[in-house]
Amino acid sequence: MAEKIMHYSLEEILKMDKRFRATFINSLGGFKSVVLIGSKSKDGYENLAIFNSIVHIGATPPLIGFIVRPDSVERHTLENILETKCFTFNHINEDIIPQAHQTSARYPKETSEFEAVGLSPEYKSGVNVPFVLESNIQIEMEFKEKIDININGTLMIIGEVKNIYLPKEVIKEDGFIDLENSGTITCSGLDSYHRTERIVRLPYAKPKLL
C-alpha cells in the first residue's frame, strides 16, 4: 500500500473521544471470533449475549476463554455462569447476524434475549442451559476458572468443552473444522460482520522448508 501512513501515540489515543477510541481500539487487534453465549440464572431466567473476545486456551484438556466486563451488559452472562457453572457457545452464521447483534442491547434480567431478538432456545437432554437452535456449531461448556485482570478490572472466564454438536460434513480428515463451510462468520470492531474465503492451508512448518 502506497498511501499516507498515520501515526498515533498512546497520548493521542487517550485524548480521542471515548466512543471513537472504543471503536478504534476494538478494531485494532484484527478479525475476531464471535459467538453467542447462552446461560441461565439459578432462578430460571435465560440469557443470550454476543461476545467477540473468545480465545483458544488449550486442546488437552479442551479449554476456551473469553473476556468479560463485570460492569457492562455482559454481567448477566457472568452472574449466570458463576451461579450454575454451565454455559453454551453458539457460532453465528449469516442468517442470524441482526438477531445476534441485537443481543448486545441492555435488556433487564427478566427478559430472555432469545425472545427479544427472535432466536430459539434449544434444550438438550441433561443440560440445563439453552443452545441456539439456529446455530450450526454448538458447544456445551463447563466453567473452570475466573481470572482477574487487575490492570483494567475485566475478567477472563475459562471453560472446558463438555459436548460439541456440528455438521458432519465440515469435519475434515485431520480434525480441521471447515468453519467457512459451516457458515460461521467473523467480526471486526464492535459492529462489523464478515464472511470469509479461504486463501490457503499450509503444512506444519519446519526450519528451512522455504
- The residue from 9, 43, 125, 126 that contacts a second copy (CB under 8 A) is 9
For residue 121, whether the previous peptide bond is cis, meaning omega lies within 30 degrees of 0, is no
Q: Which is nearer to a second copy, 42 or 96 (CB)?
A: 96
Q: Which is nearer to a second copy, 44 or 59 (CB)?
A: 59
Under rule CB under 8 A, which residues in 146-165 are in contact with a second copy? 147, 149-152, 154, 156, 158, 160-165
- CA distances to 14, 103, 149, 159 from 154, in Å: 19, 20, 5, 16
Does position 106 interact with a second copy (CB under 8 A)? The reply is yes
Which position has the grid cell 427479544?
Answer: 116
* CB burial string 41-57: b at 16+ within 10 A, e below: eeeeebbbbbbbbeeeb
In the bound complex, what is the minimum distance in angstroms from residue 122's beta carbon to a second copy? 11
d(CA 24, CA 160) in angstroms, rounded, equals 32
Neighbours of 92 (CB within 10 A): 27
C-alpha cell of residue 130: 439453552
Does position 168 interact with a second copy (CB under 8 A)? The reply is yes
Q: Which is nearer to a second copy, 42 or 55 (CB)?
A: 55
# binding residues, a second copy (CB under 8 A): 122
d(CA 69, CA 49) in angstroms, rounded, equals 13
Q: Which is nearer to a second copy, 41 or 97 (CB)?
A: 97
Radius of gyration of the chain (CA): 19
Q: Which is nearer to a second copy, 10 or 42 (CB)?
A: 10
Does position 194 interact with a second copy (CB under 8 A)? The reply is yes
Under rule CB under 8 A, which residues in 14-33 are in contact with a second copy? 14, 16-33
Does position 191 interact with a second copy (CB under 8 A)? The reply is yes
Under rule CB under 8 A, which residues in 42-71 are in contact with a second copy? 52-65, 67, 69
- What does DSSP assign to residue 89? E
In the bound complex, what is the minimum distance in angstroms from residue 139's beta carbon to a second copy? 7
Chain centroid to CA 30: 14
Q: Which is nearer to a second copy, 42 or 167 (CB)?
A: 167
C-alpha cell of residue 4: 499516507
Does position 125 interact with a second copy (CB under 8 A)? The reply is no
